[in-house]
Amino acid sequence: MGKKAIVIGAGIGGIASAIRLAHLGFETIVYETNSEPGGKIRSSQFKDYRFDMGPSVFTEPQLVDELLHLNASSTSSFSYQKLPISCNYFFEDGVKIALPSGADMVSEVLHKELGEDKAQVYRYLKRLEDNYESVYPVFISSSLHRISHWFNKGLFRALLRIPKYGLLTTMNDMNRNRFKNKKTIQIFNRFATYNGSNPYEAPGMLNIIAHLELNIGPYMPNGGMVSITEHLYEHAKSIGVDFSFNTPVTSIKYDRNGIKGVTVHERNEEADLVVSNMDVHNTYKKLLTNIKGPEKILQQEKSTSAVVFYWGIKKKFPQLDVHNIFFSDDYEEEFRTMFRDKSICSDPTVYIHISSKAEAKDAPKYGENWFVMVNAPINTGQDWEALRMELRKNILLKLNRILGEDLEQFIEIEEYMDPIKMEDMYSGMQGSIYGNSSNSKTSAFYRHPNFSSQIKGLYFAGVTVHPGGGIPLALNSAKIIEKCVKRDFKLH
């Protein structure tokens, strides 16, 4: 009989792990609490408006392609387009910048619009690209916790560049030292939010995130973000992965020899290997109640959560694009309020994603589907109803001010998501989206490894473990698990 693998959770990290394990020859089943696959990458239809409920920025599509084509015979039709404008930036003083991608174009626009030194911007973007490519093989697609992973041909290059990463400075300081215009600094600082962190505390190294959006540019999957889930799910099934929905795993079984399986619906299911795609904190808290977890890792400060309004807007806004940011005037105060006061400031940065700009069928002919998101603190018992109502009012005031409209009259559909709902729907610790924050110089070393050092045969995938937050990193967590499993099970 072949070996059996169980994956807990059908988020992207779970599905990617399942595909890789099935490819290695494991009989693989995924147990998922919810009634559908994808975790946070899911879609809802409210009357004539379709919304991607979670992620909207898609980078490194080749990681999805790679999974879909692990089998030479795959016939997946997954496709995507590169967006000509990475993001539209709006500032309170009326300045609007439509930023394309590519070091040449970005430096040109930032020179023209914000007076930056073109050569300086270009050099900095190239530096971020080099940093990214140096750390990728060693820190992103390899385990930080297995020495055997370190010794690959990228190690020497990664070590040589250490002085260039900005390990001892913050993202903000690194950006502040490069640019003269506060707006440019704000644009570069913003990428800290891509893993739920604070640019005034997170290490300068994280500026590499900007490389993906500013040098390469974001993509838009045809069919919306949910098509990532749909294609990976169909592909997983086509190679034999079994899925069981509405099936929460209630405990992980093990003995001194290692993993035994899991419990679902009060029934024990045996396995040679288990991957948890559940938030790692909750995996220990709820599924491994008899074990002492790695407290130092689990007690780290958590990343941000979010409040999202899904608005069906019965009007077209030609000045908006697929991705739009309306910046707060005091960015530092915004993060201070979020991380220190666990609240949302009165002038928050508002992100609006409009997929119908690229996928016309996502909204009626006369309208647009607005995904309106503001970063928020994790749930520590705040009065979310009150915070949400206040936030809604402040968002409308801000958008009305900048767009010169009275938006309320155009909202014909309204739904929302907040940290409590996120906690309930995806089992994320206190609604945090990315597990631990990266707000310290050592935070990369306080992300949980992709395997358990206490229980042989137990692995961890998804954004709450190494290498971190966002779709590309969740996909890399599955890649690292594959490497570990190959070695642990002596597969070639």
Question: Does 471 contact ligand FAD by CB under 6 A?
Answer: yes
Minimal distance, residue 406 CB to ligand FAD, in Å: 27
Tell me whether residue 284 or residue 339 sits nearer to ligand FAD (CB atom): 284
The values of phi and psi at residue 324, to 5°, are: -140, 135
Which residues, 56 to 115, sit near ligand FAD by CB under 6 A? 56-57
Identify the burial level of 23 via C-beta atoms within 10 angstroms of its C-beta, where 0-12 means exposed, 13-18 middle and 19 or more buried. Answer: middle
Contacts of 469 (CB under 8 A, 6+ apart): 194, 195, 196, 303, 433, 434, 435, 463
Minimal distance, residue 339 CB to ligand FAD, in Å: 18
Minimal distance, residue 468 CB to ligand FAD, in Å: 9
Tell me whether residue 40 or residue 281 sits nearer to ligand FAD (CB atom): 40
Question: Does 463 contact ligand FAD by CB under 6 A?
Answer: yes
Interior CA angle at 188 toward 184 and 192, to 5°? 150
Which residues, 370 to 399, sit near ligand FAD by CB under 6 A? 373
| Binding pattern for the stretch 243-262 against ligand FAD, x by CB under 6 A and - elsewhere | -----xx-------------
Could you tell me the strand order of the sheet in which 4-8 lies?
Answer: 242-244, 27-31, 4-8, 273-276, 458-460
Determine which residue in the list 154, 223, 419, 462 makes contact with ligand FAD, applying CB under 6 A.
462
| Binding pattern for the stretch 31-60 against ligand FAD, x by CB under 6 A and - elsewhere | xxxx----xxx------------xxxx---
Question: Does 307 contact ligand FAD by CB under 6 A?
Answer: no
CB 429, CB 281: distance < 8 Å: yes
Tell me whether residue 87 or residue 114 sits nearer to ligand FAD (CB atom): 87
Minimal distance, residue 43 CB to ligand FAD, in Å: 13
Q: Report the 10 Å Cβ neighbour count for 38.
A: 23
Name the one residue in this structure whose structure tokens are 């530092």: 332
Give the span between the Cα atoms of 165 and 31, in whole angstroms.
40
Closest CA to 202 of 391, 471, 437, 397: 437
Tell me whether residue 248 or residue 258 sits nearer to ligand FAD (CB atom): 248
Determine which residue in the list 125, 128, 306, 378 makes contact with ligand FAD, applying CB under 6 A.
306
Question: Does 427 contact ligand FAD by CB under 6 A?
Answer: yes
Tell me whether residue 121 or residue 262 sits nearer to ligand FAD (CB atom): 262
Q: Which two tokens stand for residue 420?
A: 């409590």
Question: Does 431 contact ligand FAD by CB under 6 A?
Answer: no
Minimal distance, residue 362 CB to ligand FAD, in Å: 16
Determine which residue in the list 14, 154, 203, 348 makes contact with ligand FAD, applying CB under 6 A.
14
Give the span between the Cα atoms of 475 and 84, in whole angstroms.
25
- Pairing of the two strands 49-52 and 43-46: antiparallel
Tell me whether residue 223 or residue 470 sits nearer to ligand FAD (CB atom): 470
Tell me whether residue 179 or residue 335 sits nearer to ligand FAD (CB atom): 335
Determine which residue in the list 6, 11, 210, 219 makes contact with ligand FAD, applying CB under 6 A.
11
Minimal distance, residue 204 CB to ligand FAD, in Å: 21
Residues that bind ligand FAD (CB under 6 A): 8-14, 31-34, 39-41, 54-57, 248-249, 277-278, 306, 308, 373, 422, 426-428, 433, 462-463, 469-471, 474
